[in-house]
Amino acid sequence: MKSINSFQAKPESSNKTQIDQDFESLQLIIAEVQKAYKIKGFILKNSARALFNIYNSDDAFDLALLASELFDSSAKLFEVTSAGTLNHVVLRGGQMSVLCLSDGENQLSIFLDRATDYNVILDMIVKKNF
Amino acid sequence: MGKSEVNVSALETTLNEIRNVYPGVTNLMVLDETNQVIARDRTSNDDLVNQVSSSFETLAKKASIVGGIESLTYEGADKRIFFTRHQEVYLATVASNQLDQKEITNLTNILFTTTLKVIQEVVSYSVAKSVSAPVSAPSPVIEPPKPLIPEPKVRAAVPQTQPVQPVQEPTYSKPVAPMPIPVSQPSRLAVPEVKCKVDNISGISIVSDSPDAIRLDRAVIGDWKERYGAKKIEEAYVLDVDSKKVVRCKFAPIKNEKLEGQGIVQVPHKIQSFLGVKKGSTIIVKPAVE
């Protein structure tokens, strides 16, 4: 990636919780994904920490809003349909695809070129025990 | 039962049939271009429909950054929810995870797409019928020309030895000279005509509205209402400058916000065929002031 706009808010407590450990393992996974595939960016966050890396900084805010809305809408839709807990969401847009995963606390959103096969990335992340 | 109701009924029958074939499909809904649910299967309740509409509407607005929504899939532990785009509408499906998504997608794509096409054909046919009928009300600006042959009783008087002239159907497409206009009334010659580029109107959006109506900018409709105040304007004339053909039809505002203010008018296919215009052609639209 040519341009990196990243931000990481660190947790106030230095005691590592399970959530923190999961967050860090996800950081490693996303680093591997970035090495293996050309992605347009990602957002990894939980209630205490956030890490993002978006190729085009102009789009960062709108993409963050979209990812957030995908998680919010899944919660609402799953409630009325009794679909259980969320595994993942895939939005295929005209220009870009968004892949969102959640383990309950940590939320990962990956932005891909439309032509990129999100299934390969999804498999890679799931195999890493997301 | 109106045409729209018939079309919605056809869609809902299709949704129910898909559910019958696949009991693992729990809900099916059709959303139009404004992201409102226009058809649903019999098991989809109001809570679900409202939630699907509101969630999808919010997402659709935010998804412009990725080029709109082509498809959207939520994978849950027990069920999956997916939205697939078909022309200008979305089919929302809630299904059990036990079902093979590819199989469902293939079936819904074939069945649903076929139904859409059939409905469009039916709607186009009904529009064609309404277009081919003579202009419904006399117009001060555009009136049918006098027939080119005498009335039948005159023809009957022609001696049988003379060859009978071939009968030519009167056309209703040529404008004639305007009538004198009373000063006290708003000038009908000054009826605000709008030059617009033709755009196609397709998809099942026509299900929820009058299928034979053209779609105009809200600003144009607003201007007409402002000019004529108390007068009821429910129809418009659509004129093709080249062919001199005219059609009188109903009008409605353009639904797609992105198309507003671009000087286009969405014209049903059969009206385009009648006028001999196509997407990109310039036509003139005037209000039919009674």
Does A77 lie at the interface with B, CB-CB under 8 angstroms? yes
The answer to whether the beta carbons of residues B252 and B209 sit under 8 Å apart is yes
* Amino acid sitting at position B103: E
Considering only CB atoms, which chain B residues are within 8 Å of A98?
Answer: 66
Four-residue CA torsion sign, B171, B173, B176, B182: positive
Quick one: pLDDT at residue B184? Answer: 37
* Amino acid sitting at position B212: D
Question: Hey, how many other C-beta atoms are within 10 angstroms of the C-beta on B132?
Answer: 10
Q: Report the residue of chain B nearest A90, measured CA to CA.
A: B73
Quick one: pLDDT at residue B188? Answer: 41
Q: Helix, strand or coil for residue A117?
A: coil
Residue B98 backbone phi and psi in degrees, to 5: -70, -25
Using CB atoms, which residue from A73, A85, A98 is nearest to B77? A85
Sheet containing strand A96-102, edge to edge, reads A6-8, A50-54, A39-45, A107-113, A96-102, A86-93, B69-76, B79-86, B89-96, B25-31, B37-40
A44 versus B240: which is more confidently predicted? A44
Average pLDDT, chain A: 85
**A 89-118 residues inside an 8 A Cβ radius of B:** 89-98, 111, 114
Quick one: pLDDT at residue B201? Answer: 77
When mean pLDDT is compared across A25-29, A52-56, B185-189, the lowest value belongs to: B185-189
Confidence of residue A111 (pLDDT cuts 50, 70, 90): very high
Does B47 lie at the interface with A, CB-CB under 8 angstroms? yes
Q: Report the residue of chain B nearest A100, measured CA to CA.
A: B74
Q: Decide if pLDDT at A30 tops 80.
A: yes
To probe the interface with B, which of A73, A86, A100 has the most B CB atoms within 10 Å? A73
Say how many residues make up chain A: 130
The answer to whether the beta carbons of residues B67 and B60 sit under 8 Å apart is no
Quick one: pLDDT at residue B232? Answer: 78
Quick one: pLDDT at residue B206? Answer: 52
Considering only CB atoms, which chain B residues are within 8 Å of A89?
Answer: 72-75
Quick one: pLDDT at residue A44? Answer: 94
State pTM to two decimals.
0.60
Angstrom distance (rounded) from CA B36 to CA B52 = 9
Strands B246-253 and B214-216: parallel
A127 versus A31: which is more confidently predicted? A31
Segments of chain B scoring below 70 in pLDDT:
1-6, 123-191, 202-211, 290
Are A77 and B78 an interchain contact pair (Cβ–Cβ within 8 Å)?
Answer: no
Are A83 and B79 an interchain contact pair (Cβ–Cβ within 8 Å)?
Answer: yes
Quick one: pLDDT at residue B139? Answer: 42
* Amino acid sitting at position B182: P
Using CB atoms, which residue from B51, B62, B67 is nearest to A80? B51
B135 versus A76: which is more confidently predicted? A76
Are B51 and A91 an interchain contact pair (Cβ–Cβ within 8 Å)?
Answer: no
Six-digit token pair at A126?
């799931």
Considering only CB atoms, which chain A residues are within 8 Å of B52?
Answer: 77
Quick one: pLDDT at residue A129? Answer: 62
Considering only CB atoms, which chain A residues are within 8 Å of B81?
Answer: 77-78, 81, 83
Residue A25 backbone phi and psi in degrees, to 5: -70, -35
Quick one: pLDDT at residue A72? Answer: 94
Complex ipTM above 0.85? Answer: yes
Quick one: pLDDT at residue B126? Answer: 57
Place of tokens 């418009």: B236
Does B107 lie at the interface with A, CB-CB under 8 angstroms? no
Q: Report the residue of chain A nearest B83, measured CA to CA.
A: A91
Are A93 and B66 an interchain contact pair (Cβ–Cβ within 8 Å)?
Answer: yes
To probe the interface with A, which of B66, B75, B96 has the most A CB atoms within 10 Å? B66
Q: CA separation (Å) from A87 to A20, A101, B73, B290?
A: 20, 6, 11, 60
